[in-house]
Amino acid sequence: MKTFPFIVLLIACGLTVVRGAELSPDDSRVRYLGRFDRTDAAGPRCAWTASSVTVAISGGSLSVKLKDGGKNVWQVIVNGQPAGVLALQAGEQTYPVVTGLPAGRHVVELFKRTEAQQGVTQVLGFQLEGGEVRAPEPARKRRIEVIGDSISCGYGNEAPGKEHNFSAATENGWLAYGAVAARAVNADYVCVAWSGKKLWPNNSIIDYYDRVLPEPGAKKWDFATWAPDVVIINLGTNDFRGKTNPDEAGWVAAYVEFIKRIRATYPKASIYCALGTMLSNWPEDRRPRATILGYFQKVIDQTNAAGGPPVRFIDFGVQKAEHGYGANWHPSVKTHELMATKLTGVLKTDLGW
């Protein structure tokens, strides 16, 4: 790690002078979790919700240099506790992460709160003053991957009510059910989710599932680099919110085929199909919730009849007004907490976690 003085202009915070040491983004003491594209020598790039970067330091102050389109929001976590938010500006900017930490080991994590449609963030390096970089935090022994749509992203969960439209400021993937449950069972967490995506027949998250970045021409993700112990597929809400329900045979076949693909990719993983909280039985002529539950039963039956580890189903129930609503009728932070509690209980019962 080389030391040199530098001056950084922070547009949002005024002129800030920082002197200290630079940490390269590809330094082995920086831990990345999630799908990062490392083809650019300037630094890793990511887009998916819950992508995270962790550095352990002995104290002092830490800043990070990021490149972004100006829409993403990142959560700062210090020693496991939320400690601030970085609302990114367009272009290359240096952001203060923590200041004046006392002597002692501190684990500083940056967690991408916003989803893929908000664009790509590139990590260009860190600056540390008054402390030293320590050995990285070891990977947790348990691993969870969630595949989903806006619910899994934490879409609008911090919005004051259902009348509000989407805002990056109120989308908090760190408080989404998957991330909350992962922390409860001490598991590393990866989320491959995008608002509005379906399972079948169009606009499917499956079309993006093998990509490092969800953009045209993006390189393929190397599935051998990270294998989850648990995969949770929370898809179907958008499939059943249109004027007609999807064809049963086609939808079930597509879901069964996707599970086969995940099993082939992660042969040791426990797989759960899940239904989020936004579907009800309105309108009555379609009864979307009852209908999708029937489809799910066929998916589970057909998959398990083929042999192999059991595929299980989690019904998160229907969200309640007493727990509030997020933007555009999405689950609130409270509802996400309840979903996480249910998921945690399932993992403890089924897997002994």
DSSP line for 273-303: EEE-SS--S-STTT-HHHHHHHHHHHHHHHH
Could you tell me if residue 136 is inside a domain? Answer: no
Count how many domains the chain has: 2
Do 80 and 21 share a structural domain? Answer: yes
- Select from 197, 339, 180 the least CA-distant residue to 274: 339
**pLDDT digit string, tens, across residues 321-346:** 999 999 999 999 999 999 999 999 99
Looking at residue 137, what is its pLDDT?
87
Q: What local confidence, expressed as pLDDT, does residue 215 receive?
A: 86
| Number of CB atoms found within 10 A of residue 124's CB | 18
Domain with 95, as residue range(s), is 3-129
Please name the helix (run of DSSP H) or strand (run of DSSP E) that holds residue 81, with its range, or none: strand 81-87
Per-residue pLDDT, 217: 83
Q: Do 171 and 113 fall into the same domain?
A: no
Task: Judge whether 135 lies within some domain.
Answer: no
Please state, in angstroms and rounded to a whole number, the distance separating the CA atoms of residues 265 and 113.
27
- Distance between alpha carbon 147 and the CA centroid of its chain, in Å? 9
Q: What pLDDT shows up at residue 349?
A: 98
**Token duo for residue 94:** 């240096």
Which parts of the chain sit beneath pLDDT 50?
1-19
Spatial separation of the C-alpha atoms in residues 174 and 177, rounded to whole Å? 8
pLDDT value, residue 20: 67
Pairing label, strands 73-78, 3-10? unpaired
Q: How far apart are CA 146 and CA 33, in angstroms?
A: 14
If asked whether residues 124 and 29 sit together in one domain, one would say yes
Residue 115 shares a structural domain with residue 146: no
Asked if residue 279 belongs to a domain, the reply is yes
Residue 53 has a pLDDT of 98
CA neighbours within 13 Å on the CB side: how many for 277? 30
The residues with which 57 forms a beta bridge, in sequence order, are: 106, 133
Task: Determine, yes or no, domain membership for 308.
Answer: yes
Report yes or no on 137 lying in a domain.
no
Q: For position 25, what pLDDT does the model report?
A: 98
What end-to-end distance do the CA atoms of the chain give, in Å? Answer: 39
CATH number, domain containing residue 77: 2.60.120.260
pLDDT the model gives residue 216: 80
